Amino acid sequence: MADDFDKPRRPPAPSWQPQRGERLFEFLRGHDRYLCELRDHGETYGVEAQLWKNEELFYSRGFDPRLDRTRTPRELAIAWANAERKHLETGGV
């Protein structure tokens, strides 16, 4: 039995589309625009918090269920993002 890969006239695979995250906050500091998005990667992989600076990924951090049994990955990601925002707003890099 042949897979679709072996078929000479198989339809092309749909192109990959980036998923938009859930916007948590956005602010300006000087001439720089900061944006934080949360991306949910499912129960196994948890939530990723992405920090963007002027439309470029500045840094990100992932939070999975193994980190803390008392809080959800989403709660951990929001707490981390708010702490990073405080740090950036007060002049941190």
- The pLDDT tens digits of the residues spanning 66-87 come to 988 899 999 999 999 999 999 9
Q: Is residue 3 part of a domain?
A: no
| 52 closest CA partner among 18, 80, 27 | 27
Residues 6+ apart with CB under 8 A from 84: 36, 49, 51
What residues make up the domain containing 38?
Answer: 21-89
Among left, alpha and beta (phi > 0; psi -120 to 50; other), residue 37 is: beta
Query: What is the pLDDT at residue 55?
Result: 93
Neighbours of 17 (CB within 10 A): 6
Task: State pTM to two decimals.
Answer: 0.75
Q: Is residue 37 part of a domain?
A: yes
Number of independent structural domains in the chain:
1
pLDDT category, 12, cuts 50, 70, 90? confident
Query: What is the pLDDT at residue 9?
Result: 77
Q: Is residue 33 part of a domain?
A: yes
Q: Is residue 27 part of a domain?
A: yes
| 47 closest CA partner among 68, 72, 79 | 72
